[in-house]
A and B are shown apart, each in its own frame.
Chain A
């Protein structure tokens, strides 16, 4: 057997290339990890007419790209792609496989890991190599209130899904060259057990709330729908966006679009103003990346107040009104 450099693989999730750059972000991080391991950064691309993506991945750091191209796999298929990845990995034995935590990636990666009999850490927010040369996978747990560092000491490959937006992509370099390894579709590929009836591309949902520097978030503690409206005025004055907890959305005080939480929108504002929110884990999981939190709640013991930089013990609506007044006064000058 010839000795070759260990490989770090990044799954090429190109379906929403222009909106979701997680594959490029992973190639960037893989480059850092590879330098610590003396490894080669590789991408895998499955599909039909994928040359554009192969070129993009090389321009963003891939030294080698494994390509399986066939008309029969032009649509994303978890069932088929899992089998393709399983066989490719058994054949080439990568040290690490990284997958973006897109909806597809979250369904696909667990099955690849299971087929390969290895571990998988979900939704990582950090990746590093420790002194033993192992991949240290940092992942949120307990609704994001804590971080866990996880390793896969014995099984290979070491696998992780990674949250989009954590790592910075490397600026493209179209002069970069990489090896392209074309592999033909296995003749004995099992039939897809899932039938695609229709697939309709929707315009990407607005990212305004997720990308806002200022978010004003409200919960049931605002008291009523008409009081909740004051949050929109405050957000307007601050040039920010309004978010809401699930109970506030259920009460129809805010649209579903505004829902911030674990299964909903994850926000990362520079300042978060949290009004009348108790801080249930389903909500706080969506706000862990806020850099500065001001919470307003009558109850000083609320979980939201404990995780705030500034905890204001008062009626949420009254503070909202006082803030609007004070800001308007200061901004007039």
Chain B
């Protein structure tokens, strides 16, 4: 958990560089789904991320899990991008470095801002069909059949490659990364760093400058909490808890907790 406000008042962006350099759990599930498909059908997996240079650690993790190569979109001009601009930037990189892609898999959300928006917007940028929150994937020739649970409906859907899915976290439990895999990932870095100029992008249309949304404030909603700390023997603690909060807890459970001894 971030201990200070990772908010840069000067630039008006969340300082994602202060969040720890770990792959989003949801993205690990997406990579696991890709690895499963590769085992069944063959293929070549490129892991792509956009972020500060610390993102390299995430890509090493991806290689350790089994990705064949990685693209790291990193450039000061890309910083502060909202999902609109992030999907734009990713799409341009995919067009250049993965022009013959068949399938894009995304995590269904991120831990830092849970927007779940980049996947659908990336599909729009590349003009391909997309299905979110997928539980099961079945590929047969050039047709992808997926199952998902959407707002109380269990749906089976099909679309043709190339296409995009975002993968739910209920399935595709990420594989365990053996230590040797991590070692390989550090020795043999198939990670390509890509800048805005490599993509031929005008800095005015990417990053914070190009983003239609602007953050005007970031604040901690429960900073006003008193945070009372109780220590000691469990019995004593519980007695103290009731002494201080019996009315409050009793009111919530609608029972009188008063103890006259």
Note all chain A residues with C-beta closer than 8 A to B230. 310-313
Contact of A309 among B26, B129, B225 (CB under 8 A): B225
For the complex, give the distance between the alpha carbons of A154 and B153 in Å. 37
Interface presence of A89 (CB below 8 A): no
Q: Which of A33-57 contact B (CB under 8 A)?
A: none
Interface presence of B189 (CB below 8 A): no
B111 touches A314 (CB 8 A): no
B237 touches A312 (CB 8 A): yes
B212 touches A103 (CB 8 A): no
Note all chain A residues with C-beta closer than 8 A to B175. none
For the complex, give the distance between the alpha carbons of A238 and B40 in Å. 50
B228 touches A106 (CB 8 A): no
Note all chain B residues with C-beta closer than 8 A to A313. 229-231
For the complex, give the distance between the alpha carbons of A15 and B153 in Å. 9
A122 touches B217 (CB 8 A): no
A307 touches B222 (CB 8 A): yes
Interface presence of B96 (CB below 8 A): no
Take A146-B5, A153-B214 as given contacts and tell me if A140 and B159 are in contact as well, using a CB distance cutoff of 8 Å: no
User: Nearest B residue to A261 by beta-carbon distance?
Assistant: B169
Interface presence of B98 (CB below 8 A): no
B214 touches A150 (CB 8 A): yes
Interface presence of B238 (CB below 8 A): yes
**Shortest Cβ gap from B206 to chain A (Å):** 14
For the complex, give the distance between the alpha carbons of A122 and B253 in Å. 34
For the complex, give the distance between the alpha carbons of A256 and B121 in Å. 30
Count how many chain A residues have C-beta atoms less than 8 Å from C-beta atoms of the other chain.
Answer: 100
Note all chain A residues with C-beta closer than 8 A to B158. 194-195, 197
Note all chain B residues with C-beta closer than 8 A to A330. 242, 246, 257-259
B1 touches A152 (CB 8 A): no
For the complex, give the distance between the alpha carbons of A141 and B14 in Å. 9
B152 touches A204 (CB 8 A): yes
Interface presence of A180 (CB below 8 A): no
Contact of A120 among B84, B113, B220 (CB under 8 A): B84
Take A79-B129, A119-B211 as given contacts and tell me if A146 and B221 are in contact as well, using a CB distance cutoff of 8 Å: yes
For the complex, give the distance between the alpha carbons of A146 and B158 in Å. 38
For the complex, give the distance between the alpha carbons of A136 and B156 in Å. 38
A281 touches B121 (CB 8 A): no
B242 touches A142 (CB 8 A): no
Interface presence of B179 (CB below 8 A): no
Take A194-B159, A311-B227 as given contacts and tell me if A111 and B124 are in contact as well, using a CB distance cutoff of 8 Å: yes
A311 touches B228 (CB 8 A): yes
B145 touches A315 (CB 8 A): no
Note all chain B residues with C-beta closer than 8 A to A198. 155-156
Contact of B227 among A20, A239, A279, A306 (CB under 8 A): A306
User: Nearest B residue to A273 by beta-carbon distance?
Assistant: B249
Note all chain B residues with C-beta closer than 8 A to A142. 2, 6, 14, 19, 111-113
Task: Name the residue among B108, B113, B156, B170 with the largest chain A CB count within 10 angstroms.
Answer: B113
Contact of A15 among B7, B130, B151, B234 (CB under 8 A): B151
Q: Which of B214-259 contact A (CB under 8 A)?
A: 214-222, 225-235, 237-239, 241-242, 245-246, 248-249, 252-259
Chain A interface residues toward B at CB < 8 A: 15-16, 19-20, 78-79, 102-104, 106-111, 113-115, 117-123, 136-137, 139-155, 193-205, 213-214, 238-240, 256, 262-263, 270-271, 279, 281-282, 284-285, 288, 292, 294, 300, 303, 305-315, 318-319, 321-323, 325-327, 329-331, 333
Question: Can you name 9 A-B residue pairings with CB atoms under 8 Å?
Answer: A142-B113, A148-B218, A193-B128, A195-B157, A198-B155, A199-B154, A199-B155, A200-B154, A262-B114
Extra 7 A-B pairs, beta carbons < 8 Å, given A141-B114, A314-B232? A102-B151, A103-B133, A146-B7, A151-B216, A214-B252, A311-B230, A314-B234
